[in-house]
Structure 1
Amino acid sequence: MNRFRRYLVVAVAALAWSSTSQATEVFGITLHAPLTMPECLKRQDAYLSDDHEQCFKLTNPAASDDTLPKEGQVIVNIPVEDRPNYMSGADVVVGLKDGLVVSASVKTHGTMRDGYDVRWLQEAFGKPQANPVIQNIPENHFTSAQAAWSLPDGATVYYNSGEWGPYYGLVRVQLPSASPHQMGVWD
């Protein structure tokens, strides 16, 4: 009986630890963890396009030190087969703090497909905090859908289908330690 109790205590402790240590993973990138991928291939200080490998690009590829910075931003190329349906393009802007990922942002398809994007985001992150808000922007002649999610590890998800007008929206997943999002900036 004593042996059973010990195994039970160990099993409960392991389960509790695993459920509290769930980190958000998005686009194959884990928040609150270091990036673990190679740098993208370069030729003459310019990155080569590659739609089949996950790799990072420095924001200044001509920099003499090709190591991953501990602070700031890098761009991560996502392979075609790993891109979520709501993602437009190949790149993710990743925010780093103390060498750990604190945010990841992608462009979306804009206002013309925001209904699809909201549905795909709900599949990925569950029900948003509130129903998506449709905002009419009369001076620009388009409407924009906006929504937000809170995730179990404290991360939040921001979505605005009209972040850059009708053609591109933004999804930003971030930890509380990330720098605040600036409207209209791909951060």
Structure 2
Amino acid sequence: MNTTWILTTLLILALFAWHLSYTAARLHRLHTRAEGALAALDAYLIRRAEAATTLANSGLLDPASSLILASASAEATHSDHSLLTLDWAEGQLALRELTETALTVALRETLPTATPTNSNSPDDPIAHTIATHRRVQLARQFYNDTVSDVRRLRHTPLVRMAHLAGHATTPRPIEFDDDLTAPPT
């Protein structure tokens, strides 16, 4: 009877250790996925700004719209802050979010005034800008979904009590206006 209790206790401890290890590995994978999604979002934001610059310089917009779009895209392109190097506690992320919102607003105001081209080529600046903007929307949604998964797992009692997250910072969702169909406010 004594041996049975010892074996049962060892089995329970082994299962608990396995569960801790599994949860820690899962949390690490989620953090890694969030970092990858953030890098992808940053790359798509840069591509969107470059596509907007190309559209502004294409001659398909009236001069005023072209200037508005060129200004917003230049600010987004030359932003000193990559999403990967931002100090979120210092408010740098909020500045980047405002910059990206300004570019979305500029796109929303200028795209309806663009002279449509009759080509279906991939080099069409309007189609390219809309496609890169859609990729930004998807990348931001994917990143925010991943952040939600990380935060949900980090707030479970087991992860908090066992300190499985270590000193890793909790990722924060990125919020900016990315809707081209919303009416300007």
TM-score by length of structure 2 reads: 0.26
Q: Looking at secondary structure, tell me which structure has more helix per residue.
A: 2
Structure with greater Cα Rg? 2
- Which fold has the larger relative contact order, with Cα–Cα distance below 8 Å and residues 6 or more apart in sequence? 2
TM-score by length of structure 1 reads: 0.25
